[in-house]
Structure 1
Amino acid sequence: MEAYLLGQAPSLTRVQVAEKAGVPLDLAVTLWHQLGFPHHTDDDVAFAESDVEALRLSAELVRIGILPPDSQAALVRTWGRSFARLAEWQTTLLAGLAVEAGDPADGLTDLATDVLPRVEALQAYVWRRHLASATQHLLEDAGTLTSSEAQMSVCFVDIVGYTTQSRSLDGAELVAWVDAFEQDTTTLVVDRGGQVIKTIGDEVLFTVADPVAAVEVALALTARGADEDDPFPAVRAGVAHGAVVRRLGDVFGSTVNAASRLTSAARPGSVLVDAGVHEALTADHDGEEDSPWRWRRLRRVSAKGFKNLEAWRVRARQADD
C-alpha cells in the first residue's frame, strides 16, 4: 500500500533525500515539520524518489520567491493541515468501504488502486476551478493586487444550543447533522456570491463583498432555523462591514472581531449588524418606510477589544409591517 501511494517502496533516508535534491537537511526537516509529516531519524528508510522531487520543487519555489521567508511557514502549514484533513477523511471512507466488502486488507488495497487515481484527478480539477474563481475576483478588484486588505462584509452563523443537541445524538447522527448545516449554509453563501472561509464545528464564517447579500443570507438561515418543520438548526448571526485583511484563505482584523462579538451578543434566531452594515443598507432609502428592512438599535455591545460596539438588530420587512 505504501509503495503504491508513494510511487515506489521507501528506499531513502532523509539525509539521502536532502542530498539528492540539493537542499540543506535543516531546510528539508523544517519543511517536513511544517507540512505535519511524521518524524524520522537520519537512519530511517522512509522516503522515496517522489520525496526527492517534491523537496526539489519546494526549494525552487523558495528560490523564485513563491515561498518567501516571511510567509513560508504559514503557507506550508496551511497546505499540511488542509491535506492532512482531506487524507484522513478519504482513508476513513475507503476503510469503511473495505470493511463492507468483507476483507479489509485486500479491500483497502483494491479500492486505493481503483479509486485514488480518480480522486487525485478530481482534486486537481477542483483546485484549478477555485484558482480560476479566485483569480477572477482578484482581477475584478484591482486594489487587491497591491494590498491584502479589502472592504467586505463578514458574517458568523452560530448554531444555538449546539452542546445540548450534540449530547442527544450519537456520533453518526451528529456528523450528519453538522454536515447538513454546513452544506446548506455553503450553498446559500455561494449562490449569493460569497465565500465560506471556515467551519468551526457549530459555526460558519463567510465573507461577501455586498453587505446586502450578507444580511440576506443571515436572515434566510435564521428563518430556516426558526421553522419547526425544517431540520435546519436554530442559529444566530452577526454581520460587520469594513476593512478585512486576507491571508492564506483566512481573514483577520477588527471587522472580523466585530462580527464575532455581535454573534455572541445575538439572541437565538436574530441577526445583529454593526454600523458599517447599517449605513450601507440604509444609504439608498429615505426612511424606514422605504426600506425592505426593519431596524432596532440596541444598547452598545461591550466586548473584549471593543468598548462601545454599535449594534442593530435587522429583520426583513413583512407585508403587514
Structure 2
Amino acid sequence: MSPDEQRPDGVLDAVEELLLGERPHLTRVQVSAQAGVPLADAEELWHQLGFPHHADDEVAFTEADVEALRLAHDLMSFGILSPESRAALVRTWGRSFARLADWQVALLAQVANSVPGANPAEQLTMLTAEVMPRLERLQSYVWRRHLASAGNRLIAVEDVTSPVVSLAVGFVDIVGFTSRSKTLPDGELVDWIEGFEDVASSIVLDHGGRVVKNIGDAVLFVADTPEDAVEIALAMTARGADDDDPFPAVRGGIAYGEVIARLGDVFGPTVNIAARLTSVARPGTVLIDSEAHAALLGDPGERDDDEDDAPEGPYRFRRVPRVSVKGYSRLEPWVVRRA
C-alpha cells in the first residue's frame, strides 16, 4: 500500500473506488447531461434517495451514477415509477439501504480493528474487496426470494390493484423495558435488544407470519389468519414467562380486519387497535379485539359470555372490561390463552 493510501483519505479513496468501480471523475451536471435527464429531475431523485448534496463543480460521481440515472428514467417512462409512487418508493429505498450500509460499514470496521498487529486501513480495504462482491450477490438473492414470496401472496388476493387487505395484526413489546434499559451498559443493552428481535422474528416466521418492523422494544407483525397471530403472540409470552429463558417478559395485542399495505408497512384502524391493546395488556398476557375473537370462534355475531372456554377449540377467552385509549373510547378486548 502506498503512503497516500495509508492515510485516512487514501483509505477512503481506495474503498470508494472498490465500491463504485472507479474513482469519481464526474460532476452532477455532467452525470445529468450524459444520462439525458434534466438536472432538476436528477437532483430530486438523489435527494429522495438521501444522497448528500454536491455543488455543480464538485467531482463526486462515476459512470455508475450515469447508468443508474438512466435506469430510473427508463422505469418512469415505462410507468413503473409513476409521479405518485416515485417519491415514496425512492425514499423507502434510500432509507432502507442507508441503514443497511451504516450497519455493514460499522461491522467491517469492527472486524478490521480486531486483527492483532494488522494495519486497520489495510484490513478495511482487503475486507471491502473480499466481502462486498459476495454481499452484493447475497442481497440480490434475498431480494429475489422476497419478490417471489410477495408475488405468491399477491396471487391469492382477489383485487390485486387494491392496497386494502384483511390481515391479523399483532404487536408484542417488552415489559419493563424503560427501567431495565437504564441499568444495562450500552453493549449489553444492544445485545439484549438484538436477542429479542432475533427470537421474535424466528417465532413470527415459524408460525407463518411476517415481521413488518421492529420498533425499539416492540415487534409489529402480520399474519393471514387470527389463529397464526395468536400462536405467535402466545409463543412469545410463553418464552417470556420461563425464568430459565433469556427472552424477556412480554405482552401482546392482536386485531383482525382490513389494513392498508404500502411499501412493506401496514396502516389503518386495525393496526392502531392492536397497538392500543398491547399498551393495556397485563404482563404475560395477549389481548385480542372483538373481530379476532369472533373469527377464532367462527362466529361473526356478538357473544355476551364473559367467559368462553371453547372446549372444542385450542383457546380459552375471558372478556375484560371495556377500555378507553387514545382514539378509541370503548374497545372490547378479550384475553386469549391456550385451552
Instruction: Give the TM-score normalised by structure 1.
Output: 0.95
In 2: Cα distance, 1:73 partner to 1:146 partner: 19
Q: Which has the larger displacement, 8-17 or 98-107?
A: 98-107
Partner of 2:168: 153
Aligned partner of 1:147: which letter? S
Aligned partner of 2:147: which letter? L
Aligned residues: 316
In 2: Cα distance, 1:192 partner to 1:75 partner: 29
Whether contact under 8 Å (2:112, 2:123) holds in the other structure is yes
**Structure 1 position 287, deviation (Å):** 6.3
Partner of 1:22: 36
Q: Secondary structure at 1:112's aligned position in 2?
A: helix
In 2: Cα distance, 1:177 partner to 1:77 partner: 30
Q: Secondary structure at 2:216's aligned position in 1?
A: coil
1:16-35 deviations in Å (ceiling 9; x for gaps): 11111111111111111111
In 2: Cα distance, 1:84 partner to 1:78 partner: 10
Aligned partner of 2:131: which letter? V
**Structure 1 position 284, deviation (Å):** 6.7
Partner of 1:300: 322
Partner of 1:133: 149
In 1: Cα distance, 2:197 partner to 2:48 partner: 28
Aligned partner of 2:142: which letter? V
Partner of 1:84: 98
In 1: Cα distance, 2:104 partner to 2:309 partner: 54
Whether contact under 8 Å (2:309, 2:316) holds in the other structure is no
**Structure 1 position 246, deviation (Å):** 0.3
- Across the aligned residues of Structure 1 and Structure 2, the Cα RMSD in angstroms comes to 1.4
Unaligned regions of 5+ residues in structure 2, if any? 1-14, 301-307
Could you list the runs of 4 or more consecutive aligned residues of structure 1 that deviate by over 3 angstroms after TM superposition?
Answer: 284-287
In 2: Cα distance, 1:4 partner to 1:241 partner: 49
1:267-316 deviations in Å (ceiling 9; x for gaps): 11110100111001112799633332221111222122212111111111
In 1: Cα distance, 2:133 partner to 2:309 partner: 59
Partner of 2:334: 312
In 2: Cα distance, 1:130 partner to 1:200 partner: 21
Residue 42 (structure 1) aligned with residue 64 (structure 2): no
Distance 1:287 1:168, change over 3 A: closer
**Structure 1 position 163, deviation (Å):** 1.4
Instruction: Give the TM-score normalised by structure 2.
Output: 0.91
Aligned partner of 1:72: which letter? R
5 Å matches for 1:99-110?
99-101=113-115, 102-110=118-126
**Structure 1 position 140, deviation (Å):** 2.2
Q: Which has the larger displacement, 163-172 or 265-274?
A: 163-172
In 1: Cα distance, 2:17 partner to 2:179 partner: 45
Q: Secondary structure at 2:330's aligned position in 1?
A: strand
Q: Which has the larger displacement, 275-284 or 207-216?
A: 275-284
Residue 275 (structure 1) aligned with residue 290 (structure 2): yes
1:41-84 deviations in Å (ceiling 9; x for gaps): 11111011100000110111111111111111111010001101
1:212-251 deviations in Å (ceiling 9; x for gaps): 1101110110111111111000111000000011000000
Identity among equivalent pairs (%) = 59
Whether contact under 8 Å (2:309, 2:317) holds in the other structure is no
Q: Which has the larger displacement, 96-105 or 114-123?
A: 96-105
In 2: Cα distance, 1:133 partner to 1:173 partner: 35
Residue 124 (structure 1) aligned with residue 140 (structure 2): yes
Q: Secondary structure at 2:211's aligned position in 1?
A: strand
In 2: Cα distance, 1:8 partner to 1:30 partner: 24
**Structure 1 position 174, deviation (Å):** 1.5
Aligned partner of 1:239: which letter? I
In 2: Cα distance, 1:23 partner to 1:300 partner: 58
5 Å matches for 1:1-321?
1-101=15-115, 102-143=118-159, 145-283=160-298, 288-317=310-339
In 1: Cα distance, 2:269 partner to 2:102 partner: 34
Q: Secondary structure at 1:43's aligned position in 2?
A: coil
In 2: Cα distance, 1:223 partner to 1:136 partner: 31
Q: Secondary structure at 2:311's aligned position in 1?
A: helix
Q: Which has the larger displacement, 54-63 or 304-313?
A: 304-313
1:198-220 deviations in Å (ceiling 9; x for gaps): 00110100000110110111011
Unaligned regions of 5+ residues in structure 1, if any? none
Aligned partner of 1:277: which letter? A
Whether contact under 8 Å (2:255, 2:273) holds in the other structure is yes
**Structure 1 position 2, deviation (Å):** 1.1
Q: Secondary structure at 1:290's aligned position in 2?
A: coil
